[in-house]
Amino acid sequence: MEEQAELARRRARRLGRPVLVSVTAEVKVRDPLALFARGIGVTHNRLFWSVPSHGLAVAGLGSAWSFAASGPGRFAQAAEAWRDLMATAAIDADPALPFSGPMAAAGFAFDPLRPSDGGWDGYPDGLLLLPRLILATDGNRASLTVNGLVGPSTSSINLHLSAVRRLRDLLGRAWQAPRIGEAVTLRDALPAGAWQAMVADAVADLRAGKLEKVVLAREVLAHTANPFDPAATLAALRRDYPETFIFAVARGGQTFLGASPERLVSLQGRTVLASSLAGSIRRGATPEEDAALGQELLASAKDRGEHAVVTRMLRAALEAVCTEVTAPDEPALMRVRNVQHLYTPLTGQIIDQAGVLDLVERLHPTPALGGQPRTTALAWIREREQLDRGWYGAPVGWIDARGQGEFAVAIRSALVGKYTARLFAGAGIVADSDPAREEQETVIKLRAMLGALGAGNV
């Protein structure tokens, strides 16, 4: 650690500003969620990322460095700030270890031009957050990364020793997720019937040819007499939705968390992965009913059309920066605990030195969360939806020192405070949409977060 710190001090003297030091070492395999849970009394900044089916889990505490972006240029601002930080960083990493080296959590607002209701304080238009302490595991090995800024005359060795002691203290005892409380009451953010009326208005504009598709979100408010426990909620999501992207970004007294089945984009080496996920139906009570519902979804002209819009957009966006873009000719079914979706994976090989944030900017929002044409759909949502989406439906993920990383679309999510939570779900509206059916689709999608928070159904 001190060798890297001395290198950073020399750079800091030359540059006249602090330089990042990042050191990674292998540690005994522990559950990063335990670190996230116990960090609640330690720092206002905590993060969690997991793909349970892959054995992958990452937790971060504190803030060694952060950057807040604003406005429509938020992705480019964040990418530039990260490149600038990494250009001079002194990094001691082992590529054989999971998440070795500096890794920043990243989250963005769905629409920076939206009217704000003040409920998303701490979640700016764009945020990069590099934790002081990162614990990561792939199920077989685990790594501990300590990050800090070093000035011309400061040392980071005390930071390193303090971080190791803190980790030992926080993880010294076995951790078990607490029971989820059940004293939760629910209400719609809009008056009864208002959301279906909004869908009907959208259908009228779609039939008039003003739009091809628009995605409308719905908000449900949850209240509890006993404090919500974000770690317990994440444990429930991890158990029940192992094939999804489990994420959490805690800022002060709020935590934005969820279990998203939808990858926006990942970049590893030159390989780019993206997912088209649009068209949904519930799961069946028996294997036979489940299979029948899946076939119904595959045969649905409405859902197939909605899905095709998303796939076309993703392919066109990737073909502008990738070679060898491939996708199956027909969608498959993606089944999670409470819902099944039409799913088409896309792959490509990046042409230039673009980073993952460049790809995020190119793809967000897909028609799966915005609509088509994009600009017209976003304007319709901005003017008519009657809620502040904040980070809902937007990119959330991570970026590493090379500018590579992975982002999910922040759906099946909630903004959780101590006694209140805001839950979000959306539905893709096309010309032949039925308002009652679309509302029922949001009910199905809300069940993941409702169950994880200890609430019943809407």
5/247 Cα distance (integer angstroms)? 32
Catalytic residue among 2, 28, 262, 418: 262
Amino acid in position 263:
R
Q: How far apart are CA 386 and CA 25, in angstroms?
A: 48
- With contact defined as beta carbons under 8 Å apart, do 90 and 8 qualify? yes
Q: In a 3-state reduction of DSSP, which class is residue 116? A: coil
| Amino acid identity for residue 285 in this structure | A
CB 322 within 8 A of CB 351: yes
Our answer to whether residue 213 is catalytic in this structure is yes
DSSP β-bridge partners for residue 341: 280, 334
Burial of 191 (0-12, 13-18, 19+ CB in 10 A): exposed
Angle subtended at Cα 394 by Cα 389 and Cα 397, rounded to the nearest 5 degrees:
135
Name the active-site residue from 213, 361, 438, 439.
213
The distance of Cα 425 from the centroid of its chain, to the nearest Å, equals 14
Under a CB-based contact definition with an 8 Å cutoff, are residues 129 and 105 in contact? yes
**Strand locations in 120-202 (E):** 126-130, 133-137, 142-150, 184-188
Query: Which residues, including other chains, have CB under 8 Å from residue 197's CB and lie 6 or more apart?
Result: 435
* 437 Cβ contact list (under 8 Å, min separation 6): none
- CB-based contact 19:11 (threshold 8 Å): yes
> Is residue 302 annotated as part of the catalytic site, yes or no?
no
Residues involved in catalysis: 213, 262
